[in-house]
Structure 1
Amino acid sequence: MATKEKHLAAAQKFLQKNNLTRAIREYEQIVELDGRDFRSRQKLAELYSQTGEAEKALGQYEQVARYYADHAFYLKAIAVYKQMQKLSPASGEYTLKLARLNEQQGLVGNALAEYRLLLKQHEQAPDLAAAIEVLQAMQRLDPDNSAIGVRIASYCAQLGRQQEAHQAFWAVEQKVSGQGDFKQLQRLYEYFMQLWPQDLAIQTGYGRALLNHGEPLGGVQYLADLHRRHPEAAEVLSALAEGLRRCGEYRQEAACLAKLQQLQPGGLDVCRRQAQALIDAEDFEACFLLLEPQRKAFFAAGEAARIKPFYERLRQEAPENREILEALRAVYEELGEGEKLFDVLSEATAPPTLAAETPADVLDFNSIDFETQSAVGDDSFEDLAFDLVDESAPSAATEFEDLAFDTLDEPAETAPARPAARLDLRAELEEVDFYLQQGLIDEAAQACDRLQQAAPDNDAVRQRLEQIAGRRQRPETATVPGPVTTSSAAPAALPTSAEVPESLPPAGGTAEDLFADLDLSLGDDFQLEAATELADSQRGVQTVIADEDTDSAYNLGIAYKEMGLYDDAIAEFNKAMRDSRHRVASLCLKSACLVEQQQYDAAEEALTRGLSDSGLTLQDRIVLYYETGMLYEACQRYADALASYQVVADKDADFRNVRLKIRELKALVGDTETAAEERVSYL
């Protein structure tokens, strides 16, 4: 019976004669005799591959790869699975194993690259459930990549997994919003508003995005229209109140919050926001009447500190009012602030004047009795002469009058208006120009009308009025109802309640078409937009290896080289060269791979570039000159090879077998001295 050694010798003889069929037979005998000879099994797989027997090759490779993985030779296992992937590129099984092995080794960039290949296969199938699993694995490795989250949300939505879809969307929204990139955020919302045209939370979030990123007026208009379509939606009212505050419309903010209180009675946070709005609007009477019925509720909730500033401000405005002093005393007593309590008690000498009986859950400005009589007369709110706004007079911000909240009806009687402030014509004209730029023609006209009343002969005002008249005469272009969009050009006027549909138009086209609109194609950018703000998210497509991973990249390159996967090996050696510890060795191995591919010019260029590095040590240069000599030998440039070896020998005559190399080459080269003189030395 033939021994294993005899079969190995016979296999080598057949390989030298390029008789692959007979060599395969010998290796089959070897693995049958010794099933744990994985080196021979790997060679058998390579021979099967060369003869086109892919299935047999994959079977042998699988046993080799499993052995390497089970015995913690992970880099060798990666190299084997890479070979299998090339034999069967349509199989996602090997790509998934490669991704997980790379992830296990900390090769994040490589793992993401493999996951991306697998993702493309699932999307083309299409198998969105499997695609989501791949995306979730990618997200674990690259959590800052917003584009991954967008795809997860979109695919979950298409599969009806709405809860997961919304969780993924809001996670992305938070990241993009935190980056302050409104263009990205707007595109994100507009895409998902197509997927979820009836989703009020998404539409409200879009309005908030407008408010928070430099377009508060547009946000208020958008949210006002949304409120008209959904008058009972508390989240819309809350967002609208935020927008009114940003625009300085404190009275309308308070009215909006009053309506919110009617929808959600007893909410202390809404009450606090409403009190702040009334304070900012200098409507101190209404603020006091709002807070008093809720004071004990704030105490019970342990939130006395949140209303203390309001009472302190009321005390500033009415320092002699007993009711305010008594209320503030109760707040200080609740908070245990003894010194302040003593001051208040010493001042609380006048009899009470106001009995705040207004129900807490209904604060309608029309119902507030500003003419409350005082038992004493000197301590009433009426005597404090607050500057109440005359609702019948033109307001400085009438652009919000069309919001028409139920709580903003005009009172039958109002207190005298405050004296008119001095007109700042320049600021008012800038406001008009802003409205014109935003396409808000009606608001611009209202502001100009006010200016014309104050300055009827002003040429600048007259010019704005003529411009407004001209804009109104232009034919209006048809617009598609939907979310407000922004661009470098002046946008069209925001839709009115009659123009905004009950729902946004449904998503159209394929999922890939929609991703293309978001720059989310499967190209190398694979992110929402190639912007510097998302630079950290590009790791997955650029396959960046951190410094601590260069050891793995170097070893993986060696494993690829042993498998004959020279392109993959070169890619790993390029990564390893970023580390000075591996720079020279990786360059030499890269050159060897290029020589195996007979890319001699590329190998010479790589070595020459390496020799030009001023940071090399003398020993590094000796190594590279020796490698250069080997390169020239391989391409039969014997004179250049001799010159390179001579440079090595001049510095270290005992380096490797340089003396033998020189002696052998001298027999092949005629004028050796001339050849050596023509060789440029970087030493």
Structure 2
Amino acid sequence: MSARSDRVRVIEQAEKYVRGGRIKEAIAEYEKLALSDPQDVGTINIIGDLYIRLGHTERGVRSFEKVAEEYEKRGLYSQALAISKKIHRLVPDSVDFALKLGDLYAQQGFVADAKNVYAAVAGRLAGAGKTAEAVAIFEKIVTIDREDGDARKALAGLFAGVGNIDAALDQLNELAAVRVEKGQFEAAEAVLNEALSMKPGDARSVVSLVEVFKRRGQPDRAVEILEKELAAAPDNVQFFNILGNLHFEAGETMRAEEIFTQIVTGHPLNVNARIKLGRIQILKDKLDQAYELFEPLINNLVKKHRDEKAIGLLGLILESQKPHLPALERLALIYRTNKEVKKLEVVDRAILDELRKQGLKDRMVAIYGELLDLRPGDADLAREAGAIRQELGLASEEARDEVLGLSEKDREAIREVMAQADLYLQQGLVRIARRLLENLRFRYPEDPQILKKIAVLDEVRTHMDEDEIRRRVEKTTILEAQFKEQTAGRKAEEKRAAEKRPEEKRDEERRPEEKAPAAKPTDGRKTMKPPFRGDVLEGEKISTADIFAETDIIPFVSSETGERAYHDLRGLAAEEIGWLAAARAGQLAGESSPLERALTTIVAEFRKDLRDKAGPVDAEARFQLGLAFMGQGLTAEAVEELTLAANDKSLAVGCCSLIGQGYRQKRNFGEAAKWFEKAMAEAKPASDQYFALAYELAEVLEASDERDRAAALFREICAWNPGYRNVSARLESLAKSAAG
């Protein structure tokens, strides 16, 4: 006798026992089937139901647990969730099963249901004095829903109860941040006052409370709080900084200046105080004092290769009502080091303008030399440079080059050594850079580039210990080796491009409009403003909170802001189990085997017998029956039972969802979509459940080539929660297929 016919015989015998009320014998028959096929979830589910009928709850739960685990392995999470709900109803006091149910809810995106289960369990554990276990579960709640105020308050209470005040304060401050984000300022104030009652003077709580009053338009209350805290902690630099910021924002610059001066005097490297004090000096047209305050910060930014932020800091000075020569020269050094020749030309012309105003003609020679290197065909520049040199009694450029006999090889040598000097200068190693340049000047004593670079070094001041010097030299040695490799490759390219240069030069001469905007510097400030406000000073604008995050200067410590975290549910996908697909292949083709006919007959008799003995079947029983049929692959029977169960509003969403999944497994995408749409209609709009169903519907639509509708649903889900399952990847995939 074949295994298939044996199975039919065992099922028939088991059903006879059930009809005869011999439940134990029926269980024994069903267990024969389960022993031969441990993955037969339908049979194991029936065994569990029969154990429950006998009153053997523990054995029934063990059977249901096996069913739920098998559904999870197959990726059938909705069925696993339904079985877990059944277990929870049978053993509501079991912590392990309740947590499993909560995890499945969270995994499927049913956040509200997950939170309800978690909260009930955590409350029982907390009442039983099991603080650590309760904390772990409440933390699950705030992980899936950062805004859950009840869970955060419960956590704060538990932490405070065991003496972990800092952890309690973290929870209260996070809750206050959520309230502020929602504009609930009074609630936020109450939470923060509770935090300060736990730990008076707590920095984060004070800072958050000050922010609440600022957002409410009550800066006087904020000042009052800070002054009270400073009376108790007069050395708190963070509170002093915030107090200074409040006065600065209110336009009370005199009081702000007093505060920031006090901070900088005691803490010279405090970034916030230096920037604010510098800005106050700019407002007072004291640009030299502002530059002196900014210079250490600029040097650190350049050293960290954060040139755009250094430029932004210089921009605060250069966008004032009058030019500032040291700031211009520092800006030129940055562009020179980075070889940004167009911007360097604009800055050099502005420097010439200012040097001319101040009568510093001897320093103009080096700038003219650099500009002529940048614009070798500019006749006006050459004429102006010649006039200055003649006025100062210096030989002309042409005569000097002729006397020295400088070849292109000499010029290349000068450029390489100056580039090496720039590498050391970037690391703040001024003496080494100067030594290189002095050696170069010994060979080429009147070269304007060398003289200009040395003059720049005279303006740079650095202080560092021996260990720091050693570290920077080692770093620069590595950079120097990389530079030499790049130079070798560049020389080869330049050699190949040499023939094209004359033609490019002629094209450049034919396009005079491409020259720098200030070909002839004037004495007015207005001609300098446009390039600095747009083209040249395009570094990042200064924000005292983030500019110096990557420097080694001690920054002003600000309070951390919360970041919404989403539960990562990506990569979950339901798969059809191989044996189930094989078993149903014949039905999909419209064929029925003797086994299937027998099984269908048995099911029909079972349902008739159930109605005859038990009377009208309630919706919950139909739901469980439909679930069992679904596990056996009897989709038609499952749909019939689930359709009747769906008349109960409390089960409608689950029933419609399961029916949709059943049709989806049969690849009847039209019916599947219809039932998922019904489920969505029953679900609360914009709820977690609604979006979980929308995801299922979108997958069905994508499988049926309705890509536009699928993409629209995925976009709606992504707008709700970009981290939900793999919605972002699905959207990207649809976009790529549409583009292709």
How does the TM-score come out when normalised to structure 1? 0.46
Structure with more contact order per residue of length (Cα contacts < 8 Å, sep ≥ 6): 2
More helix by share: 2
